[in-house]
Structure 1
Amino acid sequence: MQLIEISLVMILLGLLLGFVGAGGSGFIIAILTVVFGYPIHTALGTALAAMFFSSLSGSVSHYREGNMVLKTGILVGASGAMGAWFSSGWSSFIPEEKLGWMTSGMLFASGLALWFRMAFMGKQAAQNGVPAATITWRYAVNAVLVGGVTGALSGLFGIGSTPFIQLGLMVLLGLPMRYAAGTTMLVIIPIALAGGAGYFTLGYLDVPLLLAVVAGTMSGSYVGAKFTKRVPVAWLKVCMVVTPMIGATILLL
């Protein structure tokens, strides 16, 4: 019965995550630990693995909607996968109570970082233009940097680092907000796969729980992605910032 309840909650969560282009691992961790009482290490491993499936579903929808820069997503995602694989093993050395606070802090920081970019660094991110098609060597270096850093954060804290990825895509790679949201979903796929595999080797992956989470988030995220370019940019900006902060607040309860 509890797994059915989890699936229903994840459908609602998936709608929001698909809309803002988030894998939502941090939000999932908060719900699993605080609402349903799972140990945080198990929640981290399960949520990160589930993020692979929800991001896959959301990516297909974003690609069909024209919200994605494919080459950029592949390059950032590949480097992010390497960072997530190496850092996922480090979380086992962090006590549960400290890991919960650290994960909450990272979620708050990610929301604040994205808000800072939107509020103080111009209106370029809110534009709806088409990104440049050519990838220069400097662009490639920045893409690897964005992927490596955000992937390491994902593996260590079990979060998708969605706002950090979006921030890197907008600031360092110059993607407009709509394309940053869609491309982020593609980036999260290899990061979640590598990080989830790392947690699996440590025994922190609950398969029945994973199936329940996946069933809900995949359904919701596919539908949620349909609304990304159909609502005002201001709404998208607010949801991008508020989403990780809500997850962080739940973790502190």
Structure 2
Amino acid sequence: MNLVFYLLAIGIGIITGGMTSLIGASGVMIIVPILTMFFKVGVHAAIGTSLFVDVIASLTVSYSYYKNGNIDLKSGVWIALTSVIGAQLGASFANKMEEGKLSSSFGIFLVIGGLSMFYNSFKGKNDSLDTVRGFIHFKREWQKILAVLITGLGIGILSGLFGAGGGVMVLLALIILMSFPLHKAIGTSTLIMAITAFSSTVGYAARGNISLILGSFLAGGAVLGGILGSRYANKVNERTLQSAVGICFMAMGIVMTVIAIIK
């Protein structure tokens, strides 16, 4: 692998870190398709490497939110707890799946994620969340905790299966289930994403499915992208960004699914 290869990896990392800081999303949706389609990395190793990068990028971004007082891990600890358990289950399931099936499953997951982002970009964000809140009522505190525990478990399983740290899903859980203010929800969800991704990373590393050299270059770029993105996050038109990223995700997911079917 030559210098251009590693410079490209750094560039991809910068984009990944920037996306995490701007919309709180996992970098898996960028890294896995690119590593599998253009770098010829196996899908298991691509997911494991993306999780490793997710940990670094998420910690970088969450630190910037922490400096502004926008992290409350104490309230989100229940999600973090069960997401770690779910991540190990997901990583175990993924290791037993064939490359083709895992690749096509990830492609479908990517398309769904892209559709969701694209759809939400055309809706009033606060209105849609208020509508959802209207259908969720907890008469007892234990009911609220149980709902959060189940949510965390599901997020963790998805993280282990597809390499997604679950940032967007955690964000919605904190806003809808725990009534977090938006900025504090973003900061807390990003830190929880780092914890969940770390748990999944351990599972993939134990099975030898992480490229540490390539991951280090990607992570280096992600740190730079995360710092720059956090600095300018509030200046970006959120709806325009969501639409563009959603379209890209859908395109990459369709390509991955088609390639998996052809193989």
Does the pair score TM above 0.5? yes
- Given that 2:79 and 2:148 are in contact with CA atoms closer than 8 Å, whether structure 1 keeps it comes out as yes
Give the 3-state SS of the residue equivalent to 1:22 in structure 2.
coil
CA distance, structure 2, for counterparts of residue 50 and residue 226 of structure 1: 20
Following superposition, which runs of at least 4 residues in structure 1 exceed 6 angstroms of deviation?
none
CA distance, structure 1, for counterparts of residue 255 and residue 152 of structure 2: 27
- Given that 2:118 and 2:247 are in contact with CA atoms closer than 8 Å, whether structure 1 keeps it comes out as no
- Write out per-residue CA displacement over residues 161-191 of structure 1, whole angstroms, 9 at most, x where no aligned residue: 3333333333333334444333221111111
Partner of 1:132: none
Partner of 2:48: 45
Q: Is 2:170 aligned against 1:165?
A: yes
- Given that 1:166 and 1:180 are in contact with CA atoms closer than 8 Å, whether structure 2 keeps it comes out as yes
Amino acid at match of 1:110: G
Please list every run of 5 or more consecutive structure 1 residues that lacks an aligned counterpart in the other structure: 127-134
CA distance, structure 1, for counterparts of residue 10 and residue 129 of structure 2: 34
Give the 3-state SS of the residue equivalent to 2:209 in structure 1.
coil
Question: Comparing 103-112 with 231-240, which one deviates more in the overlay?
Answer: 231-240
Partner of 1:190: 195
- Given that 2:115 and 2:247 are in contact with CA atoms closer than 8 Å, whether structure 1 keeps it comes out as no
Q: Is 2:93 aligned against 1:86?
A: no
Q: Is 2:58 aligned against 1:58?
A: no
What is the alpha-carbon root mean square deviation over aligned residues? 2.8
TM-fit CA distance, 1:91: 0.8
Partner of 2:102: 99
TM-fit CA distance, 1:113: 4.2
Q: Is 2:183 aligned against 1:146?
A: no
Going from structure 1 to structure 2, the CA distance change for 1:125 and 1:231 (only over 3 Å counts) comes to: farther
TM-fit CA distance, 1:7: 1.2
Q: How many residues align?
A: 245
- Given that 1:228 and 1:236 are in contact with CA atoms closer than 8 Å, whether structure 2 keeps it comes out as no
Give the 3-state SS of the residue equivalent to 1:229 in structure 2.
helix
Task: Name the larger-Rg structure.
Answer: 2
State the TM-score, normalized to the length of structure 2. Answer: 0.80
CA distance, structure 1, for counterparts of residue 49 and residue 251 of structure 2: 20
- Write out per-residue CA displacement over residues 66-96 of structure 1, whole angstroms, 9 at most, x where no aligned residue: 4433323333222211110122011122111
Partner of 1:123: 127
Going from structure 1 to structure 2, the CA distance change for 1:59 and 1:27 (only over 3 Å counts) comes to: same
Partner of 1:6: 9
TM-fit CA distance, 1:24: 1.2
Matches within 5 A, 1:18-33: 18-33=21-36
Amino acid at match of 1:141: L
Please list every run of 5 or more consecutive structure 2 residues that lacks an aligned counterpart in the other structure: 131-139
- Given that 1:81 and 1:191 are in contact with CA atoms closer than 8 Å, whether structure 2 keeps it comes out as yes
CA distance, structure 2, for counterparts of residue 33 and residue 143 of structure 1: 34
TM-fit CA distance, 1:234: 3.6
Give the 3-state SS of the residue equivalent to 1:175 in structure 2.
coil
Match of 2:113 among 107, 110, 113: 110
Give the 3-state SS of the residue equivalent to 1:228 in structure 2.
helix
TM-fit CA distance, 1:225: 2.0
- Given that 2:117 and 2:243 are in contact with CA atoms closer than 8 Å, whether structure 1 keeps it comes out as no
